[in-house]
Amino acid sequence: MNLLLDEVARATARLADAGAASPRADAEELAAAVHGVNRSELHKVADSAFDALFWEYVARREAGEPLQHITGRAFFRYLELRVGPGVFVPRPETEVMVGWALEALRDMDVQDPLVVDLGTGSAAIALSIALEAPRARVHAVEKDPTAYVHANRNVEDLDERDQVRLHLGDLGSALGEFDGSVDFVVSNPPYIPMSEWEYVPRDVRDHDPADALWGGGEDGLDAIRAVERTARRLLRPGGYVAVEHSDLQGNGVYWIFAEENGWRDVRNRRDLTNRDRFVTARLGVP
């Protein structure tokens, strides 16, 4: 066994003892970040190049710091994004919602669809849509100044400044200039109720920004209610919305998009683990 693989194996054991959910993957990702490669390229790292900084990273992960905060990067669909303290780390389950949104956009008879991402965080959703639906014009809204800085860096890094426009503002009142003209609204808003605090993983509740986690109200759905109102204001008749929620909130979110408010074709959709994960709806034609 070469030195690097031996060290990764030792780190895996330490992270497993610390309760990490994916200790081997975490150890490999930390080693890859230290050496400036992807996990699939670890075999290219020479034994002599092994860096003691790796063990500092392992200790931070043992202490509960998110992997992505240590490495400074997160992977989302086809993107590598810069993340860190103050911005929500994008999760794999959100990729399923983005995939559905992209399919819906392709099915629309719209040459240059206008898309709004409410609560963009790192801009993972906005940038994925820009990359995979290159004719879309994407406006992304973020109210937290620190998260906005991360989003702006990612937009600049991926050279998507012409296609993705960032707006510093609240998702409940933003983009009034587009009222009634947007083709698609997508959002991964905060939705965890404070009553669930003790069940949230430590590395999430202690490190992800509070405003990106706790949705407000006894049921945690106040932010989603704000997304519904904004989507109803922004969308043109026939436009679509997709909004993420927890796997226990599907029924509650379904009824937020009520028929009496003009919504049609409301559906709960599932993630890769076959759990309710996001709701989609279409704004009816008057």
Give the residue extent of every domain in the chain: 3-63, 86-283
Q: How far apart are CA 124 and CA 146, in angstroms?
A: 15
Which CB contacts under 8 angstroms, 24+ apart, belong to 39-45? 42/4, 42/8, 45/4
CB atoms within 10 A of CB 255: 11
Strand, helix or coil for residue 182: strand
Q: How far apart are CA 140 and CA 274, in angstroms?
A: 29
Strand, helix or coil for residue 21: coil
Give pLDDT tens digits for 223-257.
999 999 999 999 999 999 999 998 889 899 999 99
CB atoms within 10 A of CB 173: 13
Q: How far apart are CA 200 and CA 109, in angstroms?
A: 41
Active site residues: 88, 188-189
Amino acid 91 reads: R
Section 82-103 average pLDDT:
95
The DSSP secondary-structure symbol of 169 reads: S
∠ CA 134-103-177, rounded to 5°: 60
Say which residue, 111 or 139, is predicted with more confidence: 139
pLDDT tier at 1, thresholds 50, 70, 90: very low
**pLDDT value of position 196:** 76
CATH architecture observed for domain 86-283 = 3-Layer(aba) Sandwich (3.40)
Q: How far apart are CA 110 and CA 104, in angstroms?
A: 11
Give pLDDT tens digits for 17-63.
998 889 999 999 999 998 888 888 887 776 656 678 899 999 999 99
